[in-house]
Chains A and B, each alone.
Chain A
Amino acid sequence: MDHAVVSGHQFETSTGIDNRKLLMWVFLASECLFFGSLIAAYLLYRDRSVQGPYPDDLFDIPFTSVSAFVLLMSSVSMVLALASIQRGDRRGLQIWLFTTAALGILFISGQAYEFTEFYHHGLTLDRNLFGTTFFVLTGFHGAHVTVGILILLSLFVMTLQGKITQSESLHIELAGLYWHFVDIVWIVIFTLIYLIQP
């Protein structure tokens, strides 16, 4: 059996790959199916509503563009957090982890604002097919971002307590994989749902 050397521990695996990282990639592959189904449902039903409001009435592209930019930059700060811990820079890790969580909170705040605006314009979960598929898709994405923020803040507290060392960088890398996945899902949503109108 080969050994996967990660986080200062050795595990016997048949591939020599750490099982935790393998599991994360399997999970992300399954998440592709989850979000792919939600996006397909949105595209199928967005222009089949029999009553408004419709996407054209509500979407604020400049605002959503800033949100997309914020989430994209959070991916940069996340990967800088990983680079910091991999070179043993715990201070850098703390700064970049906190920055990533803060950008995530900014993004989710923007989404809460957007949802509120849409609600005030008459769009609810059961108003029409556009409302149902839009809120389910972006709501699930927002839930993923929220979980990511909680993971990042937990890791931030652990770094303050000195519980994450250079040899345990896998914890940061796994959180990063999840965070980057949330980002690439938004890359797709931003283009297919917001920028490309029927």
Chain B
Amino acid sequence: MTLADYRKIKPEEATPETPHGPGAHAHPGALEYVQIGVVLAVITAIEVGLYYIDLSHSLLVVMLIGLSALKFSLVVLWFMHLKFDNRLFSQLFVGGFLLALTIFMVALATLHGKLV
């Protein structure tokens, strides 16, 4: 991405709802936030329910990690507004997250740790 891409919105176009520099979009309203909150609560309930169901360990792990990743993404994209804000923020955060994930996996592999 070039510097010019960050400048798609002129400064005078920014409002309290879009105060995040060039390339940003309006944030969702309160109703949408509440809907996301309900979805997060339901996913948490499903996670806990799965814990008590007699599933094979590997299937349980895959499902729990998948649901956790979904919750993580919903919070980051909607509540932290990465879906709506300038892409530079996404690049910074995803960069840090992937670096952390790499170190995490290398540490586990090197020291013969187990994820599950």
Residue positions of A touching B, CB distance < 8 A: 2-7, 10, 13-18, 21-22, 25-26, 28-33, 35-37, 39-41, 43-44, 47, 61-62, 65, 68-69, 72-73, 75-76, 78-80, 82-86, 166-167, 169-170, 173, 176-177, 180-181, 183-184, 187-188, 190-192, 195-196, 198
Contact = CB atoms under 8 A, between A and B. Distances in A.
B93 to A, nearest CB: 5
B4 to A, nearest CB: 10
Contacts of A14: 3
Interface string B40-67: 1100100110110000000011001101
The 9 closest A-B pairs by CB, nearest first: A29-B96, A36-B100, A76-B37, A17-B21, A191-B68, A44-B113, A3-B11, A32-B100, A5-B14
B41 A36 contact: no
- The main secondary structure of chain B at its interface with chain A is helix
A190 B65 CA distance: 11
Given A73-B37, A75-B75, A26 B114 contact: no
Contact of B88 (A2, A5, A17): A17
Contact of A15 (B6, B75, B79): B6
18 contacts: A14-B3, A16-B11, A21-B20, A22-B89, A30-B96, A32-B97, A33-B103, A36-B104, A37-B100, A44-B107, A44-B111, A76-B37, A79-B79, A83-B29, A86-B16, A169-B19, A184-B71, A191-B64
A114 to B, nearest CB: 16
B20 A69 contact: no
Nearest to A28: B93
B103 A80 contact: no
A83 B16 CA distance: 10
B8 to A, nearest CB: 9
